[in-house]
Structure 1
Amino acid sequence: MLLSAVLALALMGGFFTLFSYDLEDTLFNRLVAAEAERQLEGHAAELPTGMSTHRGHAALPPALARKLSPSLSRGEYEVATDGAGHFHVAVRPDARGGEPLYVAFRVDAFTSTTGQLGRNAWLMLVSAALALLAATGIAVVVARRVSRPLEQLAAALGEDAPGAEEDEGSVQELGTLRAALRERDARIQRLLERERQFNRDVSHELRTPLAVAQGAVELLERAPPRDAAAFARLRNAVLQMGLLTEGILWLARTPRAGERCELGAVSHEVVALYDGLRQPSVSVVVEAEGPVEAPVSAAVARVLLGNLVKNAFGYTRTGSVQVHVAPGLWRISDTGEGLGNVAPEHAGFGVGLSLVQRLAQRLGWSVTFTPLQPQGTRVELRWA
């Protein structure tokens, strides 16, 4: 609004200045035109101060003669001479072919626009300052009027008080918007609670058959069956289902304060757990920069790290898998197929990696997937 006020003042000042000059020129032109008509009609009278008549171009003062062409047509002309003054001249050619009539009016003593602009510049500046001050006041009032209902809306939503009464001066549309936002928030909360309840129900229902399957695997480990490969696949599948169930169940509950675990030990544990998925030609290295504690329980850490280790073992045919643990960082790098190069039937993150992303988001951690050259993938988990 201040910029608009400045622009409006500049435009108005320019308009009135041009209007003043144009008005003066119009008045002077009409004066010389009226006198020229009286001279042509033979009603000569005493000429006004500063006005003179001339018959023929040669009779003009030298300063005017140099500025006016002898072949000028009928009309009124403004002439600024070099040091001889400022003139308005009416030209009336003789209809019978004689010398044209010139009526010249020196207007230096009668022009006032330029002088007034100079003398009254301070008045224009004061007027502009007062106008800007008024515009500032209006801007402040309008801004408060517009922002106050929005601030009230934000405060009401922040207080989480659906039954709060609206101010009498509040805008009705904002009240409608506030009600719509609260209804939307309530609907989102219902959907979230429904999802959490579903996750809890599914996880609890899965725990019983998983416990039975894990017990059966432990019994079979005492007397391993002849088909060792099939038994290894069964054991890994049961373990993976257990990790997924724990992760889903953890998402459905509120985290406990003060939970911590040592990631180096968890890394060795999950590497040993999924070692059966590793190809014989793939080497694995776990490096830790001393004991590294992370603000998460060991069960959740097994879900996070286990899914990433399982994924690296599953997609790496040759080369190596490296796990690096440092304060605030857990990183796994492999020489597998890499992101974007997985066969179509195996494409996609799957439930495991999707669960990793959701768990990291819930913990406030960041997770990044970076393709390596010529192939491979690096995954990093970071926390504060």
Structure 2
Amino acid sequence: TMLAIGNGAQQQIIEQIEQVGAKNIIIRPRSIGNIEDENETTKRYSPKLRMQDAASIQEILPEIEKITPFISYETSAIANGKKKNCNLVGVNADYFSIYNLSLDKGSIFSKIHEKNSSAVCLIGANLASKLFSGVNPLGKIIKAGKLQLTIIGVIAPGRAIGESLQEIGMNNYNDEIFVPTNTALRRYKDRGRITKQTLDAANRNDDEEQAGEKITDQIEKIIIGISDTKYVTESVDILYRMLYRRHHEVEDFEIVVPEQILQQKKQTDETFNILLGVIAAISLLVGGIGIMNIMLASVLERIKEIGIRMAIGATKTDIKEQFIYESASISLIGGVLGIMLGVILSYLAEWITGTTTIISVWSVVISFFVSALVGVVFGYTPAKRAAEQDPVNSLRYN
């Protein structure tokens, strides 16, 4: 069971690293309320993360391969007479490349869709299945709150995102609606009302009110894909200095490298696995001592039998081998029962807690041979004592 849990944890981390990408960086807002010596002036001049930040990053950092702003809103999706709660997520096309998300059908929105804040969307596989069961959703209308969107693509189903990945910025894309970032910022918040003046003001990065509407471009985070892992650390330093300067020396942001966090988690799990190994070793030691005591008691009870065997020609080696074989057999029976119980408990633990467990063939084989080895090692002392019995005294023993 311990090996299965340890193997499962290692495999889960490897899969998580593959999901988040080893070359990705996430920039997200930091609550300035947690910063020491914070005052109202600091609050007033803290601009938070904005679309202009993403544009500036793309210009200043040549190592960037992909970059996308990210914003999400809790909403409800209505289509085909059905309703489901979900998130509406605003991203650009790079988001799907960064996280290696493929399409089941349709196409990803284009730069024209982004520029024009088009009312188009992609939906996750689970959402498509629940709202459009047996129906091709492409070209259909889906309502996110009061905003009507045309579906142009469906994301291929993938592994569900666990809590640990959600903590470092990943979303469960199987149940989400994806729209261009500008669509999320300018159409959803204004409940679909958009004019040419609004778009012109937005394209000028103008923060003044236009056509009775306030243009806002604050975003939740910026996700960056670096061209090579060797540039990640250097890029983090450049990003920090640039954003610190742009945000008027207010550290209202944090830069997260998901792969580094998962590597730290991996090291923690490796330490935990060592602890599990120590516990298993102590358990083997206790079990071995138990077998040794049982065999020593067996030698005392069978002294006369040992004497009879020696009298009819059994050598010390024969006696020793007999007791070692018996000790190994007891240990092997316990090992087989332990393996069976371990398999059952592993599946039970996975079912109850949701923790991934992996039972490998090698772990079963190793457990089997370790059981036999414990029997031989701890059975040697009783076997040696049995072989050293005097045949004459043994025959007289009552």
Normalised-by-shorter TM-score class: under 0.3
TM-score (norm 1): 0.23
